[in-house]
Every structure is written in C-alpha cells, then in structure tokens.
Structure 1
C-alpha cells in the first residue's frame, strides 16, 4: 500500500505522519485490496481539516473530517474511512446476489 501525506498551509511533522500511518494499519487489515491512500492535512483558521482519497481495487473512496486539533481530526477520518471500506467490502462480496429460496408446496 502506498501512503502519501501532504499539508496545505501546514507543516506535517514526523509525529503526525507516524500517527496517521498507525491508524491506517487498522483499515489495511480490513481491506486487503487497498492500493494507495493520499491524505491531505490543512488548517483553516481554528479548524483542522483532514481529507483522504483511498484507491481500492475497483473503487475510489473520498472521506473528509474536521476537528479542533489535528489528532482528533485524524481519528474521526480513520473511523469514517474504516466504515466506508467495510461498506464497500460488504457490497463487493455479494456479486452474484442471493438466490431466493423456493418454497416447497
């Protein structure tokens, strides 16, 4: 999995990079088909904003979150991304659909 972390009007420290990478490991366990993730960090006045673009096999996901500090925003983002990946995994697993059962009469 490729991970790219960038900052807009914000210097990304090594501590924030390692924190985001550690949080992303949980999502990587749920989705083996995770190809790349691009995380963009920005600060707008007093609000910290985090966006993630995840590229899975057959699907691109975009998730964003805001918070009072950068670590809280990363936590919210990873929770949202985890739910989105699990939802995609459920949908993609049911490719053929379930067959309706035929009642014996």
Structure 2
C-alpha cells in the first residue's frame, strides 16, 4: 500500500504523519486490498476567529476509488471524523463485494421464476 500525506498551507509534522498512519491501521484491519492512499490536510484561514481545518482522503482499491472529506476546527478532530467516515465507506463496500445471498435462477423452483 502506497501512502501519501501532503499538506496545503500546513507543514506535515512527524507527529501528524504518525497519527494518520495509526488511524489508517483500523481501515487496513477491515479491508486489506488497498492499492493507494492519498491524504491531503488543509488549513483555510478565512478570518482570525474562523480557522477551518480540512482533511481529505482518496483510497484506491481494485475497481473502486473512495473519496471522503471532513472539516473541523481542530486538525486532529478532522482526521478522526475522516477516518470514521472512511471506515463506514470501506465496510459498506466490503459488504457489497462479499454479499452472495441471492439465489441463482437455476436453483429456483419453477413457480418462483417471474414470467417474462
């Protein structure tokens, strides 16, 4: 898995990098077929009172790309909500891929087949 962490208007410190990597371990536990992860951390200085921290992630898997973004007053809070959203999206994708509960047509009885 390739991991890219970049920052816009912010220096990505080793503490932030390690925090993001530790949080991504949770996603890797649930779904390990990840090809590429790109994390972008942004600080928007709108006014002095209103500083907005934004975290975005692009998670590339075979056949699917998941994009999630989160905005908060604190960068660590934005990363936490980002990972929560990403974890839910990955679990939803994993359930779709592994869902084989439907019956094939050849195993259905003649009365269950819809008329054309």
TM norm. shorter chain > 0.5? yes
Partner of 2:8: 8
The number of aligned residues is 103
Q: CA offset at residue 2 of structure 1?
A: 1.0
RMSD: 1.9
Alignment match of 1:58 (pick from 60, 63, 66): 63
TM-score of the two chains, using structure 1 as the length reference: 0.90
Give how far 1:92 is off: 1.2
Provide the secondary structure at the position in 1 that maps to 2:11: coil
Task: List gaps (5 residues or longer) in structure 2.
Answer: 46-50, 112-116
Which residue does 1:75 correspond to in 2?
Answer: 80
What is the CA–CA distance in structure 2 between the aligned matches of 1:32 and 1:5, rounded to whole Å?
19
TM-score with structure 2 length normalisation? 0.82
Instruction: Write the mapping of 1:1-105 to structure 2, written as runs, cut at 5 A.
Output: 1-45=1-45, 46-94=51-99, 98-99=102-103
Larger radius of gyration: 2
Shift of 1:97: 5.4
Q: Name the SS for the 1:3 alignment partner.
A: strand
Q: Shift in Å at residue 56 of structure 1?
A: 1.0
Runs of 4+ in structure 1 displaced over 3 angstroms? Answer: none
- Aligned residue for 1:10, secondary structure, equals coil
Q: Distance in 2 between matches of 1:35 and 1:28?
A: 11
